[in-house]
Structure 1
Amino acid sequence: MSNTIYLGYYFKVEPQQPAVEILIAELGYAGFESFVETEEGVTAYIQKEEWHEAILEDIQILSSDEFDISFTFEDIEQTNWNAEWEKNFNPIVVDDTCAVRAPFHEAFNVEYDIVIEPKMSFGTGHHETTHMMIQHILKNDFKGKSVLDMGCGTGVLAILAEKKGAKPLDAVDYDNWCYLNSLENVERNNCEHITVIEGDASVLKGKSYDIIIANINRNILLQDMETYVSCLNKGGSIYLSGFYNDDIPMITAECEKHLLKFEEKLERNNWVSLKFIN
């Protein structure tokens, strides 16, 4: 599979709040995958193959009289991605327990210190969905559990799950860049029980897991829910994120159709993460 090319949109926003939060939500609905808040506003990334000329036409906030928003955009090549992240990637600490940092950051005195080189893979912990998934993993029992990290991005969630005692683990992503990056990060964090797989839900045939982590987006979750449930062991748990509060009824209905029971909701800036059990 060839490397995926992304477009980077650089938005200048005045005043920034609540405009940045609204803009990120609307861009997420339009298909943008990752966001970095900046001093001037926000940078958003979308796969070039998902882009079309009318991509911003439905972004209502861009035409609002309440905010002044301008933007530029460019192709993001693999060669300059590390420089982009080094400019924007600050370390984070979740619940005083788990740190996610790059190799050029100093180590944190926390129970779980995860080092990743993000490159073009998404899942640094900065985005609300990844942050909430880390919270789920921290507060739940993963010891000795088999785990699937679907749409693994950087592999950060699978890495944390192994550090919490899970084994064996599969980390799956259809994007070649994410696949290669996850391989690097798994090795970087001395993980021994994670198998990184390049592919989509079709690679799950015949597999089974005690816990499934799926931080993707609403449409993919709805499309592949039946496959996920077919892989989930009885009494297992599934953690879902990548969608908004308004999407909960649709996600819940699909889960209940497959006899999953809602157990917990986390919310962060209108993004949500749900836990279901079977």
Structure 2
Amino acid sequence: MNYVEVSLETTPDYVDILTAELAEIGYESFVENEDGLLAYVPEADFDESTLQAILAKYQIFTAIACSWQTLEKRNWNEEWEQSYEPIEVGDQIRVRASFHEPDARFRHDLLITPKMSFGTGHHETTWLVMNEQLTLPHSGIDVMDVGCGTGILAILARKLGAQSLLAFDIDEWAVENTRENFALNELHEQAEVFEGTIEEVPAHRQFGGILANINRNILLRDIPLYVQHLRAGGWLVVSGFYEADQSAIVQCAEQNGLLQKRSSTRHQWATVVFEKR
């Protein structure tokens, strides 16, 4: 599968806004640079008219220069390896590639191979979810990672004591990358990965914790399904949406029997933690 790299030259004030807009229409990965933003979307999902319509909303306020090119998988991997830097969440978590040396100052050392997947830790929502995971009970419970990307959240869940993992994504490359990253972190048993959606999770499967870092529209559609797979007293962490959309997410969750425990934001992105009553 090829990806399209969209380069947006704009002011820093509009980088987060454009990231949120593009995430809503299927863009999977984002890299901020000194000129603005690089955004990546599967070639089959790239639509020039939709992109231009989004940009037009903001070009009346600021200058936005746009260009794009198609990247093959190999080129994308080389790009990531050249630009990837370790991610630190407080003084507890460090996410690094295998070509970085470990740092003993951090309690949790997570290894990933950076590829074309959303969830390497650089995006604000991935950081937010990992930060929330540090405060949630994981020991001895089964955890599901919805839209797993690189599998980074599931890997952290196991390091925090999760008994078993179920991770899935609709992107075959993400599934391949998650399996590779599970192996890197020696998650050999009770760590299942498949290509698909929440609808393909067997009805009898129940989890003590669910991680869903996707986007607003999928969350609003699928939260009722997450609840069906969540044990009473279990927790659900959702992210992948702009803080302006938080009220709609909370309303949907509460209508489906969830209780909001807390929320947090980072550079206008939001994460909310719920508990099943």
TM-score > 0.5, shorter chain as reference = yes
Q: Distance in 1 between matches of 2:263 and 2:275?
A: 13
Pairing partner for 1:244 from 230, 242, 245: 242
Structure 2 contact 31–38 (Cα < 8 Å) conserved: yes
Q: How far has the Cα of 1:249 moved from its partner? A: 1.9
Partners in 1 of 2:180 and 2:133 — Cα distance?
Answer: 22
Which residue of the other structure, out of 32, 36, 46, is the alignment partner of 1:37?
32
For the 8 Å contact 2:213–2:240, the answer to whether it is kept is yes
How far apart in 1 are the matches of 2:252 and 2:75? 40
- SS of equivalent to 2:113: coil
> What per-residue deviation string (whole Å, max 9, x for no partner) do you get for residues 135-188 of structure 1?
011122211111001110000000010001101111111211011110000000
Alignment-mate amino acid for residue 16 of structure 2:
E
By how many angstroms is 1:10 displaced?
Answer: 1.5
2:87 is the alignment partner of 1:92: yes
1:148 alignment counterpart: 144
Work out the CA distance in 2 between the residues paired with 1:191 and 1:130: 20
Aligned match for 1:168, one of 164, 168, 179: 164
Q: Is the 8 A contact 1:5 1:48 kept in 2?
A: yes
Matched, 1:126 2:122: yes
Question: Which of residues 109, 112, 117 in structure 1 aligns to 2:108?
Answer: 112
- Corresponding residue number in structure 2 for 1:177: 173
2:133 to 130, 134, 137: 137
The CA distance in 2 between the partners of 1:27 and 1:202, in whole Å, is: 25
1:82-114 residue CA offsets vs partner (Å, 9 max, x unmatched): 111022211111011100111111212211111
Aligned-residue RMSD, C-alpha: 1.5
Q: Secondary structure at the residue paired with 2:217?
A: helix
Shift of 1:59: 2.4
Task: Say if 2:191 is the partner of 1:200.
Answer: no
Shift of 1:60: 4.1
Q: CA deviation at 1:24?
A: 2.2
| Aligned 8 A contact 1:26 1:59 in 2 | no
Report the Cα offset of residue 23 of structure 1: 2.7
In structure 2, which of residues 210, 213, 216 is the aligned counterpart of residue 212 of structure 1? 210
1:59 paired residue among 55, 60, 69: 55
- 5+ residue gaps, structure 1, are none
**Deviation of residue 255 (structure 1)?**
0.7
Question: Partner amino acid for 2:136?
Answer: N
Q: Is the 8 A contact 2:130 2:153 kept in 1?
A: yes
Query: Contact (CA 8 Å) 2:3, 2:73: kept in 1 or not?
Result: no
Q: Which residue of 2 aligns with 1:23?
A: 18
Report the TM-score when normalising by structure 2: 0.93
**What CA distance in whole angstroms lies between the structure 1 residues aligned with 2:229 and 2:17?**
36
Residue 234 of structure 1 aligns with an amino acid whose one-letter code is A
- The whole-number CA distance in structure 1 between the counterparts of 2:244 and 2:147 is 22
Determine if contact 1:36/1:88 at 8 Å carries over to the other structure: no
For 1:177-231, what per-residue CA distance to the aligned partner results, in whole angstroms no more than 9, with x for missing partners? 0111100000001113311122111221221100000111111111111211110
Please state whether the residue corresponding to 1:266 is helix, strand or coil: strand
Measure, in 1, the Cα distance between the counterparts of 2:14 and 2:197: 34
Shift of 1:30: 4.1
- Return closer, same or farther for 1:267/1:60 CA change in 2, 3 Å cut-off: farther
In structure 1, C-alpha distance between the alignment counterparts of 2:78 and 2:88, rounded to whole Å: 22
Structure 1 residues 277 and 122: CA distance shift in structure 2, 3 A: same
* Normalised TM-score (structure 1): 0.93
d(CA) in 1 for partners of 2:226 and 2:179?
A: 23
> 2:260 maps to which residue?
262
